[in-house]
Chains A and B, each alone.
Chain A
Amino acid sequence: MKIQRFKEYLFWVVLIALIFSSGMSIAEETMKITYSRGIDDLPLYVALEEGLWEKEGIKVELVRLVGEHNIIAAALHGDIDAGHLDLGGAFHAGLQNIPVKVVAWLGHAHKGTRCGLHVDQKSNIKSIADLKGKRIAESGTITTAMILSETLKSAGMDKDDIKAIKGIKLDDSMKHEAALRSKGVDVIVA
């Protein structure tokens, strides 16, 4: 009888120890952070590769996930711990009362920024005014829409003055090159 009780006691001790040990490992779980596979996320690559997070006592894994809806859904579901979001996506999340908060921005454009409207080296497009009637390829994201809108506005034009071709990916420079060289488009926003 005593042996039976001792076995039961031992069973509960082992079970409780297992629960506590698994709880401790949850606290030490690797943080999963999404990244965009772009140059914008350089600080994430550097922090990981140079061991800057490790020195802060945390383990981080970068997870490739695209689409702000997917990223937010994954965070709300607990599949990732943090995600990247552009300002437009953040405002939309706020408008819909989605319980997420941006805790840091990953930099901004400056005078040396080379993202913008690109034309073929030999193109006769020399100024923004020359964009009238031209085929402009863009990703269709809020970023390119805003940049294009403000650029056209500076020359007294709007989106109806150009032929927008949407869907090109900002990070696919090889396709951009091919599109420009084949004269498939006149301008690429990238």
Chain B
Amino acid sequence: MLEEHGASRLLTSFNDAIPGYVFSGLFFTEKYLKKNPEKVRAFLRGLIKAFAYIQANETEARKWLPKYTGVEMTVAMKSALREYSDGREPEESLYRQQAIMMKIGYLKEKVPIEKIIDYNFLPE
């Protein structure tokens, strides 16, 4: 977003450093998932439809950014968005990021991704 103010130029991007970098996800507690599976499925159906909406109606979607992020509309209209999948990300991307975390000392040991992810509630 910095560039949109004319203050800076991009030297190198996150994607140049780590292609397909996965930023963040949404989690529920295991207790909540067991107790409310249909509610979680409905929530994720709405979320995936939002991904599709953004891809099909990008300008309309961007109009909501100022309300929630505080950025000016001109910035909201130009900022680069994430690339959306179906809510899942390739295992190799997640493990590649994990390997970097271990290398720089952020993570002590390897964690199987099955331990942190549950895609069972996503639409097929």
A interface, CB within 8 angstroms of B:
31, 33, 35-47, 49-50, 52-53, 55-58, 60, 62, 72, 75-76, 81-88, 90-95, 99-121, 123, 125, 127-128, 142-143, 145-151, 154, 171, 173, 176-177, 180-181, 187-188, 190
Contacts of A110 in B (CB 8 A): 15, 20, 82-83
Which of B26, B54, B83 lies in contact with A108, CB distance below 8 A? B83
- State whether B23 touches A108 (Cβ < 8 A): yes
Which of B13, B32, B122 lies in contact with A104, CB distance below 8 A? B122
- State whether A142 touches B119 (Cβ < 8 A): no
- Closest 7 interchain pairs by CB? A107-B82, A104-B87, A116-B13, A47-B50, A101-B118, A109-B15, A53-B46
Contacts of B116 in A (CB 8 A): 90-91, 93-94, 100-102
Contacts of A85 in B (CB 8 A): 24-27
Contacts of B4 in A (CB 8 A): 173
- State whether A39 touches B65 (Cβ < 8 A): yes
16 pairs across A/B with beta carbons < 8 Å?
A37-B68, A44-B47, A50-B53, A58-B46, A82-B28, A100-B27, A100-B116, A102-B27, A103-B26, A105-B23, A106-B84, A112-B80, A113-B15, A117-B12, A171-B69, A187-B11
A-B contact sample (10 more), CB < 8 A, given A75-B27, A105-B88: A43-B54, A85-B27, A87-B98, A91-B101, A94-B111, A94-B112, A107-B83, A108-B83, A145-B106, A147-B18
With CB as the reference atom, state the residue of chain A lying closest to B72: A173
- State whether B30 touches A101 (Cβ < 8 A): yes
Query: How distant is the Cα of A109 from the Cα of B19 in the complex, in angstroms?
Result: 7
- State whether B64 touches A45 (Cβ < 8 A): yes
- State whether B84 touches A107 (Cβ < 8 A): yes
- State whether A109 touches B23 (Cβ < 8 A): yes
- State whether A91 touches B111 (Cβ < 8 A): yes
Contacts of A143 in B (CB 8 A): 14, 21, 23
| A62 to B: closest C-beta gap in Å | 7
In chain B, positions 66-95 with a C-beta closer than 8 Å to chain A are 67-71, 75, 79-85, 87-89, 93-94
Which of B28, B29, B49, B115 lies in contact with A94, CB distance below 8 A? B115
| B55 to A: closest C-beta gap in Å | 10
- State whether A146 touches B122 (Cβ < 8 A): no
Query: How distant is the Cα of A79 from the Cα of B97 in the complex, in angstroms?
Result: 30
- State whether A107 touches B27 (Cβ < 8 A): no
Contacts of A100 in B (CB 8 A): 27-30, 116
With CB as the reference atom, state the residue of chain A lying closest to B36: A81
Query: How distant is the Cα of A114 from the Cα of B79 in the complex, in angstroms?
Result: 8
Contacts of B12 in A (CB 8 A): 116-117, 128, 151
Question: Given A88-B106, A103-B119, are A50 and B50 neighbors across the interface (CB < 8 Å)?
Answer: yes
